[in-house]
Amino acid sequence: MCEANVYLIDKEGNEKLLLESVDKLVPSDESIMLENIFSQRKTVKARIKEMALVEHRIVLEEKD
Amino acid sequence: MCEANVYLIDKEGNEKLLLESVDKLVPSDESIMLENIFSQRKTVKARIKEMALVEHRIVLEEKD
């Protein structure tokens, strides 16, 4: 399976795991909707900072 | 391997394959840098429309 773990860097610069095994990401103007393979969903006010799919790693950056 | 194929929807609404086997995506304000597992790079003026990692599919939308 090729899902990724999604990490969020908060406004203080700290990185934390936001959601594991994410399959779908749908950005909108203000936020990003994440859904993982267990059908858990999260929506965060953030932008995508970088993605490294082979490492199963996506990093988001919190925004105002 | 968990790379994805990246598709671009142009301003006319047509979808085409932009780059296969993409590992890294790094968005900036204006554009997105893609790099695949063969170290091929492309930078496009686009935004991420949706990602479905289990389907190995990322869709970008061209912007002005």
Instruction: Give the separation between CA A19 and CA A3, rounded to whole angstroms.
Output: 11
Q: Hey, is the C-beta of A33 within 8 angstroms of any chain B C-beta?
A: no
Interface test with B, best of A1, A2, A38 (most B CBs within 10 A): A2
Question: pLDDT tens digits for B12-49?
Answer: 999 999 999 999 999 998 999 999 999 999 999 999 99
Q: Is ipTM over 0.95?
A: no
Domain B4-62, CATH class in plain words: mainly beta
Task: Sort strands A57-62 and A4-9 into parallel, antiparallel or unpaired.
Answer: parallel
- 35-64 in B: which are within 8 Å (CB) of A? 37, 47-54, 56
